[in-house]
A and B are shown apart, each in its own frame.
Chain A
Amino acid sequence: MSTVSEPVSLSAPRGADAGLTPKQLADKYGLAVSGRRPGLLAYTKQLWARRHFIWAFATARLVAQYTDAKLGQLWQVVTPLLNCAVFYLVFGVILKNKDGFPAGTYTAWLCIGVFVFQFTQNAVQSGTRAISDNLGLIRALHFPRASLPIAFTVIQLQQLLISMVVLVGVVLISGIDPGRTWVLVVPALILQSLFNTGVALVMARIGAKTSDISQLIPFAMRAWMFLSGVMFSIQDKINSWPPFWQKVMQVNPASIYMDLVRHALAPVIYNKHVPQHQTLPPHLWTYGIAWAVVMFVIGYVFFWKAEEEYGRG
């Protein structure tokens, strides 16, 4: 520029490089455009290199969450239990839902549903805020941004694992004996975690661009909860529906993951020789695997596509 005071600028290349334009100089020394999005494979490698960060972030957040509360970490278990108690009172006792289940199993059925649905619900909600609530961190340090929504899903998973201990207690108190099917909880939760990560990644990108979405999320989640049959059996209600809508209800991922865990922990509810038994929709595992893989891949690619834009402007 003409405003540079010296005839020989400190910027000008010297020696062998003299006379190169800035662009040529950058190319010659292999300089890259600042802030450009890496390829999908390179991105995955970077993300893998930050796995310790993701874990440390999740643990730190989980610990910090209840630092102000006197009862501290106890709330992680008490909150969902109180939820269960309210649902039990309204849907179990007042609306008499528990009469439609094998004797004494409604509490276990309800609690599993509430805990499992909450895992997805929290992943969606914290995913939406993963970027917008952490702009300071994003603007201060360089790391693959997908670390944040993934870390928030890990937090929810850690929370669920704590709740699982309580859940096992509830199931045992309900008089359901431990069995071989309990092992199936592990693959079911792995699939749900993958699904949740995908959803959190999608919501993180949307939430980063449109903060209005966080106002809508609670309503959407409430609608999803009632349509998924968390506190009443949706299967009984949809029998008279047109086949298309029956199909739609059956592939609802929230119902699928709840049913997978319910069937694993309390198979007696679905036992055909027990009066009032529940029917399990077909192809649960197939749908569960498909949702997990498809949602994770879509979410990951969708989030990566806007990697260079998070925290900008």
Chain B
Amino acid sequence: MADTDLEKSLSVQDSDVAREPTVVVDDVHIVYRVHGAGSGKGSATSAISRIISRKRGSGVREVHAVKGISFTAYKGEAIGLIGSNGSGKSTMLAAIAGLLPTEKGGIYTNGQPSLLGVNAALMNELTGERNVILGCLAMGMTPAQVKARYQEIVDFSGINDKGDFISLPMRTYSSGMGARLRFSIAAAKTHDVLLIDEALATGDQAFQQRSKKRIDELRGSAGTVFLVSHDNNSIREVCERTIWIEAGELVMDGPTDEVVGRYERGERP
């Protein structure tokens, strides 16, 4: 069923209909500046000598994380980003979200993309309940909307499946529970562009099924979804298009089956 849909959508792409772009990445370079990478920032003498000599660069190292990547994403697409550790996938995602400045080139987006990462913590000392409310309000929902969606979010996250966990502080949650709740909060709002960093791999089987369904719904409501994952199966199930990044450069951009297949066999074009 899903496969025939996929084939249909691929064949539609061959026609001459103009598509509406949602994310345009135009020859983007991203450079990290790491402070304290040099020898001994911590020692007082080196700090003083740095101040006296007024040399700024000594402890700063530059990491060229993304080197000239270009692609365009369109409405309704789900795009996977694959590549080995440290290849620049998460950096690319953060840049699309507007959280990292580009050194060169431009990233143009439709509306404000939302980044959903497992590392992004809400407030640990607060209860899950408060976090749901705060997260929704921070995303710009009105209190009435939050009230209407609250139960749905909690049910979706499955936090309360094993007892009343939602009224406990988030620091008592397991990492999987925290990630599930964060995904549920972020997914409660319809985003024009949703960026997901490894979130699917953390939940249990039932939650993974639910989140895949939710991602499909988000795509259906004319959004674009980016998914960074090391789990090739979840990329295969969610995305019809995949971009392979290696050492900050775009290796391949094409239909998921082809790209992931060659990635797994280690065949660089």
Task: Please list the residues of chain A having a beta carbon within 8 angstroms of any beta carbon in chain B.
Answer: 1, 3-6, 9-18, 21-23, 25-26, 29-36, 46, 49-50, 52-53, 56-57, 60-61, 64, 67, 136-137, 139-143, 147, 308-309, 311-313
- B101, closest chain A residue (CB): A312
Chain B, residues 142-168, CB within 8 Å of chain A (1/0): the string is 110000000000000000000000000
Q: Which residues of B contact A57 (CB under 8 A)?
A: 134, 137-138
**With the chains together, A139 CA to B70 CA distance in Å?**
24
Instruction: Please give me the residue from chain B that is nearest to A29 by CB atom.
Output: B21
User: At the interface with chain A, which of B115-123, B206-214, B225-233?
Assistant: B115-123
The residues of B that contact A16 with a CB separation of less than 8 Å are 18
Interface of chain B, helix or strand or loop or mixed? mixed
**Other than the known A13-B18, A14-B15, A33-B106, what 19 A-B pairs have Cβ atoms closer than 8 Å?**
A1-B250, A3-B250, A3-B252, A5-B254, A6-B254, A10-B253, A13-B21, A14-B13, A14-B16, A15-B19, A25-B24, A31-B22, A53-B138, A60-B123, A67-B125, A67-B169, A141-B135, A142-B98, A312-B101
Binding site for A on B (CB under 8 A): 13, 15-27, 32-33, 68-73, 94-101, 106-110, 112-117, 119-123, 125-126, 130, 133-135, 137-140, 142-143, 169, 182, 186, 241, 249-255, 258, 269
Q: A22's contact among B15, B26, B95, by CB below 8 Å, is which?
A: B26
Q: Which residue of A lies closest to B255 (CB)?
A: A10
A15 & B21 in contact (Cβ 8 Å cutoff): no
Query: For residue A30, which residues in chain B have a CB less than 8 angstroms away from its CB?
Result: 110
Residues in A with CB closer than 8 Å to B126 are 60, 64
| With A13-B21, A31-B24, A141-B114: A26-B108 Cβ-Cβ less than 8 Å | yes
Contact residues in A for B258 (Cβ distance below 8 Å) = 5
**Within the complex, what minimum Cβ distance (angstroms) separates A26 from chain B?**
4
Does the CB pair B251–A3 fall under 8 Å? yes
Q: Are A25 and B120 in contact (CB under 8 A)?
A: no
A-B contact pairs, 8 of them (CB 8 A): A6-B253, A6-B254, A26-B108, A32-B108, A32-B109, A56-B134, A140-B182, A140-B186
- Whole-angstrom distance between the alpha carbons of A243 and B237 in the complex? 78
Which residues in A have their C-beta under 8 angstroms from that of B13?
Answer: 10, 14
Given contacts A5-B269, A13-B18, A142 and B72 within 8 Å (CB-CB): no
Please name the residue on chain A nearest to B94 by beta carbon: A139
A62 to B42, alpha carbons, bound, how many Å? 35
Question: In the complex, which residue of chain B has the Cβ closest to the Cβ of A67?
Answer: B125
Residues of B with C-beta under 8 A to A142: 97-98, 112, 114, 139
Q: How far is the CA of A26 from the CA of B110 in the complex (A)?
A: 9
Find B269's partner among A3, A25, A137 (CB 8 Å cutoff): A3
Are B250 and A22 in contact (CB-based, < 8 A)?
Answer: no
Contact between A311 and B107 (Cβ–Cβ < 8 Å)? no
Q: Which 7 A-B pairs have the closest CB atoms?
A: A35-B98, A140-B120, A26-B108, A53-B137, A31-B108, A15-B18, A22-B26
A137:B123 contact, CB within 8 angstroms? yes
Our pick among A67, A143, A312 for the contact of B138 (Cβ within 8 Å) is A143
Contact B72 A11 (CB under 8 A): yes
Please measure, in the bound complex, the distance between the C-alpha atom of A29 and the C-alpha atom of B75, giving whole angstroms. Answer: 12
A11 to B26 Cα, complex, angstroms: 11
Q: Determine the residue in chain B with the shortest Cβ distance to A53.
A: B137
Q: How far is the CA of A176 from the CA of B52 in the complex (A)?
A: 58
Residues of chain B lying within 8 A (CB to CB) of residue A309: 101
A142-B73 Cα distance, complex, nearest whole Å = 21
Cα A18 to Cα B109 with chains together (Å): 19
Please measure, in the bound complex, the distance between the C-alpha atom of A99 and the C-alpha atom of B15, giving whole angstroms.
92
- B32 touching A49 by the CB < 8 A rule? no
Q: Which residues on B sit within 8 Å (CB–CB) of A50?
A: 137-138, 140
